[in-house]
Amino acid sequence: MFVGVGASRVRDIFGQAKKNAPCIIFIDEIDAVGRQRGAGFAGGNDEREQTINQILVEMDGFDGNPGIITIAATNRVDVLDQALLRPGRFDRKITVDLPDYKGRTRILGVHARGKPLEPDVDLEAIGRRTPGFSGAQLENLMNEAAISAARAQKSTIGWEEIDGAVDRIMVGLEKKGGTATLSIKQNELVAYHEAGHAICGALIPDYDQVQKISIIPRSNGAGGLTFFSPQEQRLESGMYSKQYLESQLAVALGGRLAEEIIYGEDFVTTGASNDIQQVANIAKRMVKEWGMSDKVGALALSEPQQGGPFMGRSMGQRATQWGGKIMSNVDSEIERLVNNSYLTAKNILLSNRPLLDHLAKTLVEQEVVSAEEFQMMLVEFNAKVVPFEVVGEERNRDKLPFQDLPVAV
């Protein structure tokens, strides 16, 4: 009944544009109709294919369209049909990147208009706190802060509401009741876990700065969170050094290690499941994709993700088969990376046990520790990284956690 409606509407649009030339046609979310066409082996009629064919004909067919400029927007340019991107059609791409620090500050200034902000609210500080946020997320941030202020029956928006809104957007809502829903022992365990992450992150070289440590449970299932402030240049370039990635492995293992040190291996919990998944993923990609292993070398052993055969891709292609020797080297290198990071994190925590105890105790008492308070603790306890010999490298080497376990590759 409705076959050809999309193509008919495209003809109508261009017909109206010709009557009103010079004219601009703007198509938002063009990936809805301009997605890669199928391989055609399944048979049947695809209404979307008729629509995209009509767009192609109207833009660059037998009849010229003088005075008509066609503009489209999408955030999925990777799935667009190649015919749309040829010269004569959408032949110019303009990428709208995420805003940098100055851009975020100016966007916040736009969305702060008409909102009664308290004198202590610094838009530049919010801009530094929100790397990677888009304009829409920043608008949502200011709206969330205004809603929080209204719920608290305040007539102005303060830094506390904005800080809470950033956390809510990044990691989800706080659970009702907070830490009161957990027992004292559970709160203490979560506090040690987060303290382990924070201390490893602060004392390991070339890593992000600790922004805030919290043991307030979240709606996404997280019992607590350690917020790190990523460097703007590193985030924008997308380039991470081998040292940074190894530091990330050690920081992720710091939470489980703190539980081990305080409660013993038999009383560790499932709270570190997400950390362990992160460790496995980073170590695997370092070896299999990024060539960060001397033993394996600069080989890309992972096949790139591609669309299915229905997208007209990967037809009749086989994945590259690598030999058993190379894959065995991959297993041993992933294991080596994880175990080295385990030893590094364990050395840091054992060398700074008084700081670990004090930070966990403070978290239990006040639930949140700010970056300034944490920096004061680091100075007060003279926190530093001590070489392995001080804590006994041989003793640590005897009890590596992953030496007898198969590593998922």
Residues serving a catalytic function are: 194
Find all residues with CB under 8 Å of 148, minimum gap 6, and list them.
161, 164, 165
Burial category of 341 from C-beta neighbours within 10 Å (exposed 0-12, middle 13-18, buried 19 and up): buried
Residue 396's nearest CA partner among 276, 262, 261 is 261
Residue 227's nearest CA partner among 215, 245, 240 is 215
Largest CA distance in the chain: 83
**Looking at residue 336, what DSSP letter applies?**
H
* Upstream peptide bond of 217 is cis (omega within 30 degrees of 0): no
**Cα–Cα dist 47/309, whole Å:** 19
Burial category of 299 from C-beta neighbours within 10 Å (exposed 0-12, middle 13-18, buried 19 and up): middle
**Cα–Cα dist 289/21, whole Å:** 51
